[in-house]
Structure 1
Amino acid sequence: MDQRIAAEVPLVDVVVGGHTNTFLWNGPQPDLEPIDGPYPFVVRQKGGKNVPVVQAYAYTKYLGRLNLTFNDDGDLIKYSGQPELLGSSIHQDEDVLQLLEVYRPEINRVNSLVVGQSKVTLEGGDECRKRECNFGNLIADAMVAYIATVSPDTWTSAPIAVVNGGSIRTTIMPGKDGAVTRGEILGAMPFGNSIVTLSLSGEDLVKTLEIGARSNGETSRGEFLQVSGIRVTYDMTKPTLSRVVSVKVRCGKCRIPEYEDVDPTKNYTIVAPSFLAIDGGDSHYILSEHGANKQTADLGDVDLLVWYFERYSPVIPEVQGRIRFSDGSACSAASGMSIPRGLSVMVIALFVVKMSMTT
C-alpha cells in the first residue's frame, strides 16, 4: 500500500510506512532480519517524479533516519538515509527512565492481573495473516457471544464476526495453571478498537472475504479475515478478488443455529472491530462504506476478551476448518464456536518515544 500511494498520489513527496514490519537497509544484513530492500525504497511515478518510501521494521528495534533536501519551490531534490540499530551501544535517556519508574508499579500491577485460563496456546502473529488461527477464532467468537447477551428476541442479532488477522499481534502462551493476564491480552491486541455491529449484503460480505484473501506479494496480509459464523473456501491459484469458492453463513433468527449458503441479495448483521467497520482499515473499505445501521458496543476489544475469559474460562479454542483452501489444506472438518468455560478493565499504558529526524 505504501508503494501504491507513492506511485499514484502526485502531491506526495515521501511515504513513511508502518505495521507491515518491512525491513529496509543499505549494506550487509546487521542482525537477524532479512533485508526487504534499500533505505529509502524509491518509487518512480508516471510523470517521472521519484518518491522515497521508508519503514523501520518493528518493535522499536531500529530508529529510522531519513535526510531530505527541498529546493526553494518545495520540490524534493535529494534524499538519503539508513536505520539505526538500537542496540546496547545506544544510551537510554535518564529522564525518560526516571519517568517510567513513576508509572511502572501501577502498570505492572494491572498487567499482571489474571483474567482467566486457557488450556491451549493462543496462536497469533503472522499465522493469523494467512490461515485460520485459534486465537482469531476465540476473538471472533467472543464478539458473537457478547452481542448474544444483548439480543432480546433471537439467540443473537449478529451471528457472524470478522477480525483482521493483522490486529492479532502476538501469541499468548498461558502461564501456570493456564493463566492469562490482562497485560498479555493488551500485548496481543494493542490498538484499542471498539466493537461494531453493522448490516451488510451477502454480495458485499463475499467481496469483503475476497479483499481478505487478495494477498499477492505486495500486500501485508493484515487484511486476511478470521471469522465466526462463516465457512469459506478459497482457491488461491485464482486471480486476486476472484478466489472465494464457497461461503456458508450461520443463521441468527433461528431456534437452532445452522449454516446455509450465503444469499447475495440478503442482508446480514455482522460484528467487526472499529478499525474495519468505521475506518475501513487494511483496505476493507466495503465494511466502512457499505455497512449500514452501525452500532458501537459499550466495551472495547481488550475489555471484550477480559469479559470472555472471566465468563468462560478455561477456554479451549480450536482450529476448526472455518477457513479452507481448495487444495485441501487448512484443518479439521469440525465447525462451530470455540468451546470455553466461564467488567470492565482499566489498562494504563505509557509510551514515551524520543525520535529525531534530520532534514
Structure 2
Amino acid sequence: MRRLAAVLSLAFLASCSSLPTPPPTVPPPPPLEVQILAINDFHGNLEPPGLAYEGSKGKVPVGGAAYLATALREVRTPASITVAAGDLISASPLVSSLYYDEPTVRALSDSGLALAAVGNHEFDRGPAELKRMQAGGCREKQARETRQSCALEAFTGAGFQYLAANVLEGSNNLFPSTAIRDIGGVRIGFIGMTLKETGTLVSPDGVKGLAFLDEAGTANALVPYLKQNGAKAIVLLIHQGGATDGKFDDPSCPGLSGDIMPILAKLDPAIDLVVSGHTHQAYICQRPPNNGARRLLTSAGRYGALVTDIRLSFAPDGTLIDQRAEFVPVQGEPIDNARVQAPLNPAYRVFAADPGVASLVQRYKAAASVIADRPVGKLSAPLEKGSISGESQASEFIADGQLFVARNPAKGAADFGFMNNGGARTDLIPGPDGTVTYGQIFALQPFANNLVTISLTGAQVKAVLEQQFDSGTNTVARPNLIMPSANVRFSFDKSRPAGQRIVSILLDGRPIDPTRTYRVTVNNFLASGGDGFTALAAGTNPVDGGLDLDATEAYLKSSPPVPQKGRVIDLTPAGWTPPAS
C-alpha cells in the first residue's frame, strides 16, 4: 500500500508538471499624448516688450520673438501642433507695424505656428489686407503713409492657416471654419473664430461687407462635421476671453469672469478644449462639468510672453481621457528689463535667442531705427495709458494734440476733441532728458487714423458720452471711457438710469448748450461709429485734419504740458455695484 501511494503521488506530480503555463500578464498600451502649444494677442511684439509676469515663483521678465521661437522648439514634442487665438498683428510696435506686420507673420511662421483664429485686430486694415497676410504679395504704397510693404524682402504670406468660422463675406466664409490634423496617431478637429462684436471694435470701413456670427451657435453647428470626419477631440480657438484675480499660474482661477463665460455655457459638450484670447489675461482653468463635459480653458496673456503647453491624453481607442496644461514663460537672455525692473528669475527656464528669428528682427529693427530714433519733442513726465474704464493721460494728451492741429480753420475749426481710450496702446515714457522719439509715439498710436472734425449739437455730444456706458460692448459694469481735450470736463454717475448718467459737460468752464452746434475732432475710427460710439456717425460737415500721428508730433514740438487728471469725474456713490447682466 505504501508503494502504491508513492507511485500515485509521483504520477500526480508528473501530471501537474504537464499543465500549460499561464501566459504572462500584458500591460495595457500607454495612453497616446498630443501636445498643443498655444499663444494669443502677439500684436507684432518682435522685440521684448518690457513685461514681467508675477507667478508663484516670483516675477519673470518675458517676451521677444526670437526667444519665443526657441521656447516653442525646445518644448515641442514629436506629437505636437502650435496654434494661436487671434490678434497676432496690428496695434503693433513700429518695427513690425512700419512694414504692415510682414516680419511678424514671417517670424511666427518660422517658429512653427500652424493654425490661427482671426481676432478683431486682424481686420484693422480691412479684409483685403488680411487676405494678403495669408496669401502673400506686396501692398501698393498708400498716399501719406510712412509704412512700407516688401521693403526688405518679398512677402510670401503666412506659413500658418487662418481660421474664421463666424466671419462671412457675403454668403461665404472669409477663411476656412475648421481644420483637421492627425497628430501622434490621433485626429484632432479645430474651430477658429473671432468675437461676434468685432464689427464694433474695428473701423466700419474695415469690416464693410462682413458679418460676424454668434460664437457658440457657429461652433456647435460645426461639431457634427468634425465628428463625421473622425475627430477624437475638438478644440475651439476663439478670440474672446476672461480674467481672474490670481497670478498667471494660479490653478484655482480665482474670480474667473468675462465674456467667454456665457459662450462656454452654451458650447456643445463635444468641444473639449477652449484656447482663448482678447483680454490679454493669462489663465489655465478647469471648468466644472457642463452637460457632462469637463473642459479646459486657457489664455496665454499677451505679446508672446507665455506659451501654454497643453497635453491631451487618449486611450488606445481614441477616447479622450485626460487634459492638462502649464505655462512656459518666455524668459530670454539677454533681455531689456529697464521698464519692468525684474532680473532674470532662476526659478524659470531661460531660453537663448533663435538665430534665424533674431536675425530677422535685427534686420527690420535696423531698417526702422532711422525713423524710430528720430526725436520729435520733449515731455516733462511720463504719460500713463491707464485702463479702458478709467482716466487716461495718454488719451488726453492725444486729444490735446488733435485739437492743437484742428483748431486751424483749414483743418476743421475745432472747438474741442475726443480720443478713445482703446486707441492709446502704451504708456509713453520719455528719455532721461525728456526726449520723445517717433518710435514711441508710433507705438502709442499705431493705427494710422486720420483726424476728422465734425459738427454735433450739444445734445448729440451728450448722447456720445452716454454711450460710454450703454452701447455695443460698453456697459456700466465695464465702461469704455472717451477722453476729452483740456478745455472740456465732464462728470458721470453710473448708478443713474440709462441716458441720464452724464451729470455735466463743461466747455471752457461753462455748460455746453444742447441746441448749439460744436465742431468736434476725433479720429476716423470714432467718426464712423467705432468702439460703440455710433452717435458720432451722425456728425455733419466733416473736414480731414491729416494723420493722427502727425498731429501728435506737431503738438510735441510746441513743448506741451503733461495732462493732469481731473477732466473726467466719477460721481458714482461709493459701494454702488452694477446690476447683474
Partner of 2:540: 292
Q: CA deviation at 1:237?
A: 2.5
Q: Which AA in structure 1 matches 2:330?
A: G
Is 1:162 aligned with 2:418?
A: yes
| Native 8 Å contact 1:41 1:53 kept in 2 | no
Structure 1 gaps of 5+ residues are 68-79, 250-257, 330-359
What are the within-5 Å matches in structure 2 for residues 1-359 of structure 1? 2=195, 12-13=218-219, 16-17=238-239, 22-23=242-243, 29-30=248-249, 37=256, 41-43=260-262, 54-55=276-277, 56=299, 57-62=301-306, 85-88=328-331, 94-126=355-387, 129-151=388-410, 157-213=413-469, 216=475, 219=478, 221=479, 223-228=480-485, 229-249=487-507, 258-278=508-528, 280-288=529-537, 290-298=538-546, 300-310=547-557, 312-313=558-559, 315-319=560-564, 321-326=566-571
Q: 1:243 to 1:316 in 2, by over 3 A?
A: same
Would the alpha carbon gap of residues 36 and 190 (structure 1) be closer, same or farther in structure 2, given more than 3 Å must change?
farther
Shift of 1:164: 0.9
Q: Describe the superposition over 1:105-152 as per-residue Cα deviations: whole angstroms up to 9, x where unpaired.
A: 1223322221111112222232xx334343333211111110123449
Secondary structure in 2 matching 1:125: coil
CA distance in structure 2 between the partners assigned to 1:210 and 1:246 by the alignment: 11
What's the offset of the Cα at 1:43?
Answer: 2.9
Alpha-carbon deviations, 1:279-317, whole Å to 9, x = none? x222112213x222223322x22222111112x12x222
Q: Distance in 2 between matches of 1:241 and 1:82?
A: 45
Amino acid at match of 1:248: L
Structure 2 letter corresponding to 1:297: G
Distance 1:248 1:301 in 2: 25
Give the count of matched residue pairs.
296
The amino acid of 1:281's aligned partner reads G
Local SS of the residue matching 2:361:
helix
The whole-number CA distance in structure 2 between the counterparts of 1:64 and 1:268 is 50
Q: TM-score, normalised by structure 2?
A: 0.43
Whether the 8 Å CA contact 1:197–1:270 is kept in 2: the answer is: yes
Q: Aligned to 2:554, what secondary structure does the other structure show?
A: helix
d(CA) in 2 for partners of 1:31, 1:108: 39
Q: Is contact 1:7–1:46 with CA below 8 Å preserved after alignment?
A: no
> Given residue 239 of structure 2, which amino acid in structure 1 is its aligned partner?
G
* Greater displacement, 269-278 / 186-195: 186-195
CA contact (8 A) 1:247 1:261 kept: yes
On the 8 A contact 1:196/1:295 being kept in 2, the answer is yes
Question: Which whole-Å CA distance do the structure 1 matches of 2:258 and 2:469 have between them?
Answer: 29
The SS at the match of 1:176 is coil
Find the aligned partners of 1:306 and 1:227 in 2 and give their Cα distance.
Answer: 19
What is the Cα-based RMSD across aligned positions, in Å?
Answer: 4.3
Does structure 1 conserve the Cα–Cα contact (< 8 Å) formed by 2:307 and 2:330?
A: no
Q: 1:318 to 1:41 in 2, by over 3 A?
A: closer
List runs of 5+ in structure 2 lacking aligned partners.
1-193, 199-211, 220-235, 278-298, 312-322, 332-348, 575-581
Task: For residue 158 of structure 1, give the secondary structure of its aligned residue in structure 2.
Answer: coil
Secondary structure, aligned partner of 2:394: helix
Counterparts of 2:488 and 2:217, CA distance in 1 = 41
Output the CA distance in 2 between the equivalents of 1:210 and 1:157.
25
Q: Structure 1 stretch 223-232 or stretch 90-99: which is displaced more?
A: 90-99
Q: 1:42 to 1:328 in 2, by over 3 A?
A: closer
Report if aligned partners of 1:62, 1:83 keep a CA contact under 8 Å in 2: no
Give SS of 2:407's match.
helix
Q: Which amino acid aligns with 2:391?
A: E
SS, match of residue 562 in structure 2: coil
Counterpart position of 1:72: none
CA contact (8 A) 2:427 2:444 kept: yes
Counterparts of 1:304 and 1:29, CA distance in 2: 38
Q: Which amino acid aligns with 2:416?
A: I
AA in 2 matched with 1:318? P
Matched letter for residue 116 of structure 1:
G
Can you list the C-alpha shifts for 1:231-263, whole angstroms capped at 9, x where unaligned? Answer: 2111133245431011223xxxxxxxx454333
Q: What one-letter code is carried by the residue in structure 2 that aligns with 1:322? A: R
Q: How far is 1:91 from its partner?
A: 7.0
Q: Which residue of 2 aligns with 1:348?
A: none
